[in-house]
Amino acid sequence: MKEFFKTTAGEAAEIIGGEVICGALDTMIETISTDSREIGENTLFVPIIGEKFDGHDFIEELFSSKKISCSLTMKKGYEKSALNFETPLILCNDTLSALGKIGKSHRDRFKPVTIGVTGTNGKTTAKELIYSALASKYKTLKNIKNYNNEIGVPFTLLKLDESYEAAVIEMGMNHKGEIERLSLMVSPDIGIITNIGAGHLEFLGSIENVAFAKSEIVKGMKQGSTLIVNRDTECFHIIKEIAGEHKIKLFTFGLGAEADIYPESYKLYATKTEVIYSGRLISVPLYGKHNLYNILAALSVAKVLDINIADISDSLSRFANVGSRSEIIDKEFTVIDDTYNSNPLSSLFALESICDVFPKRRKIVVLADMKELGESSSVYHVKVGEFAGARKFDLLIFYGEMAKYYEKGALSAGADSRAVKVFDTKDDIVIFLKSYLKENDIVLIKGSRSMKMEDVVSKLIA
């Protein structure tokens, strides 16, 4: 990734708390990059250490080719090359942290109304809906794609300039402390927690720990600012307590009257979700009950910012979501492509939605493994299997290492054994479905990102 970043080597070192150990302090920097293949003019190179690579391995080659004007490093041993090629070298404790400090420094130069979005599910869709609502009134910045981590967020912040009046920043995590670091970087005026569920338990251990980790969003928020929370989520009491401790105002959305914002009524359709709120019909081309909550999150932001609902309803009516998130593809049969990711909460929403929206059509469900559930993985796959089995789908197909646990849950909940199948390969699933599916059938396909269940979708609709 690269972005414009005008400064000098000396100023960059001051921002990150580093030291220029070689080269001239007044060396000009115009761009910043973490990718040795994507270098701009007068670039400051930030070598990031990842699971499969170390950006430090490219420093000497970038020096020798004169592709960069300066480099950060958190390792010693590059001084000789820096001197030989007369290129400034800045030593710091942690290059990833340094990148965050640069993003934070740039963000602090401007005063957009900033909304930070986190949660187990729905972050990207909620972010896109909020962006759609705000963009109807303000020039608004957002993360592109799902650049929501400690690399993507600072690069998003570097896009800010004085013309932006608002920013919607999605913040993702899988370890404790990550949301705190992102929140301190973003400094949200308004925080949003879409929901709490069993996600990243491999690293966090329990749903309660997920709630604590997501609640770290308050660490970058000023006292008196507002945290918008799903009132219906698990562990709401934990979020409420933490918000109170940090003197953050709580604003809630949900389906019941105990929430600050709730729908007077709603209807779920295959091609849209309709909400009656404040006497006005709001129709959004999104599918599923989970997206009803995302719509309520966007309405909550409008309410907190005192934006007239009439001003945003037209924008929401033309909303286009990013791909593979409950995307409906109509052929002779209908495929619900929910292959972007999966965890227990999103799976339950997906299964519930297909029953609510298509009560009279033949329904087939294809579920692959849910990842990062740690020692609880088998338990959660059994629970999702039970949920599916109790709803008497016409066919349940399971795939992956956890397929036997899905199957166990489904059969224990009363599913007909003839309607439960486990497959060893995705190609076998496609071959079977092509012979099984009839006109007007509904097929839900869902699995974690690493399972690549979009392979089944693309072959099925080809």
- 346-388 residue pLDDT tens: 999 999 999 999 999 999 999 999 999 999 999 999 999 999 9
Q: Tens digit of pLDDT for each residue in 74-121? A: 999 999 999 999 999 999 999 999 999 999 999 999 999 999 999 999
> For domain 327-461, which architecture applies?
Alpha-Beta Complex (3.90)
Q: For the chain, give every residue range classified as CATH 3.90.190.20.
A: 327-461
Does the pLDDT value for residue 201 go beyond 90?
no
| Mean pLDDT across the chain | 95
Q: Where in the chain is the domain with CATH 3.40.1390.10?
A: 2-93
110-317, superfamily in CATH?
Answer: Mur-like, catalytic domain (3.40.1190.10)
Provide CATH 3.40.1190.10 ranges for the chain: 110-317
pLDDT at 325: 83
For residues 268-280, average pLDDT:
95
Separation of alpha carbons 237 and 14, rounded Å = 41
Region 146-172 average pLDDT = 96
CB 252 within 8 A of CB 259: yes
Q: Three-state DSSP class for 313?
A: helix
pLDDT the model gives residue 143: 95
> H or E segment at 116?
strand 113-118
Average pLDDT estimate for 166-186: 96
Name the residue among 166, 192, 191, 171 with its Cα closest to residue 182. Answer: 171
Cα dist from 96 to 41, 49, 103, 299, whole Å: 22, 8, 11, 35
Confidence of residue 162 (pLDDT cuts 50, 70, 90): very high
- Name the DSSP letter for residue 275: E
Is the pLDDT at 321 greater than 90, yes or no? no
3-state secondary structure 71-105: EEECCCCCHHHHHHCCCCEEECCCHHHHHHHHHHH
Check pLDDT > 90 for residue 411. Answer: yes
Res 165 pLDDT > 80 = yes
Percent of the chain with pLDDT over 70: 100
List, in order, residues 6 or more apart from 381 with CB less than 8 Å away: 369, 370, 373, 402, 405, 406, 409
Spatial CA neighbour of 107 closest among 46, 153, 44:
153
C-alpha 46/C-alpha 391 separation (Å) is: 51
CATH ID of 2-93, from 2.30.42.10, 3.30.300.30, 3.30.1490.100, 3.40.1390.10: 3.40.1390.10
Asked whether 291 and 326 are in contact (CB, 8 A), the reply is: yes
pLDDT classification of 296: cutoffs 50, 70, 90: very high
Residue labelled with tokens 């794609």: 145
